[in-house]
Copies of this chain bind each other. A is one copy, B any other.
Amino acid sequence: MVKVTQRVKKILAGYESDNPGTKANLARMLMHGRLGGSGKLLILPVDQGVEHGPARSFAPNPGGYDPHYHFQLAVDAGLSAYAAPLGFIEAGADSFAGAIPTILKCNSANSLSTNKDQGVYGSVNDALRLGCAAIGFTIYPGAEDQYEMIEEIRELSEEAKSVGIAVVVWSYPRGGALTAEGETAMDVCAYAAHLACQIGAHIIKVKPPTDAMHLDAAKKVYEAQNIDVSTMSRRIAHVVQSCFNGKRIVVFSGGAAKDLEGIYDEARAIRDGGGNGSIIGRNTFQRPREDALAMLDQIVKIYQGKA
């Protein structure tokens, strides 16, 4: 039995307008697993099946076709939370009731889509009946449908907050005038994080930024103000600053599959830059279970300052 730590209490204090129910659900995630109490989060998201199709997601490690696989992996690795779409949560929420905080990913895109939008197919009622600590939602800043997406999460978010459910926003710039490089550019990434904070997210998920700049107007300011974005940890620190000076939790996605050292270095940079942790999907469930557990163990140690 671990008591709520001062670090977690300080994080919760940043959410000063939220009701105790929502704070308790944030605390559930912040106090769970091996990083419980440290202010760091390590989250397993498995929405790849719906985003990229089942074979692309699970064929490399076929255990992942089974919804229980991911719940069990998150539990065994001592993660902070498990995030997935409705079907995957429904298929394990009873067997794993009380075993790990869950985040109901309420919208998703799919690879057959021809527009930059997502379908919403999870609700706050679903989150309540399935015992989820939070809802998750993706917005595409820059996309033609971005304002509709913002309006969808606003509605869900208002309802969630009234019943004590936390809100996690995946803020992924995409579409419109954005180039592929622009999607992860420093200015765009910090902007996307800030935008998610401003629409009321409790936890923000963004991609680790590169040192590219996308908007000319932004580039001028970064140069004029000598904002140091030369290293990943500096860039992370800038994103953290953009999240209400660190008063909102920000976690970083693992992105496309990469080698272990790349993953570990990124985690160290997130840690050193003051980020709140990682949310790693494909890099986890596409490895054999034992390899995934070993990798997650190493990431936990990095966030604990032991590696």
Contacts and interface: CB of A to CB of B under 8 A. Distances in A.
Interface of A: 1-4, 8, 12, 14-28, 30-34, 36, 49-50, 52-56, 59-60, 62, 65-67, 75, 78, 85-99, 108, 110-115, 117-123, 125-126, 128-132, 141-142, 144, 146-151, 153-154, 158, 162-164, 173, 176-178, 187-188, 190-191, 193-195, 197-201, 215, 217-218, 221-222, 225, 227, 238, 241-242, 244-245, 247-248
Give the oligomeric copy count. 5
A200 B98 contact: no
A34 B148 CA distance: 40
A8 B98 CA distance: 10
Contact of A55 (B66, B198, B227): B227
A17 B234 CA distance: 37
Given A54-B193, A55-B227, 15 more contacts: A17-B19, A49-B198, A54-B242, A55-B190, A55-B221, A65-B244, A65-B245, A88-B244, A114-B177, A118-B147, A121-B151, A125-B158, A128-B162, A129-B162, A129-B163
Given A98-B31, A119-B146, A242-B65, A108 B198 contact: yes
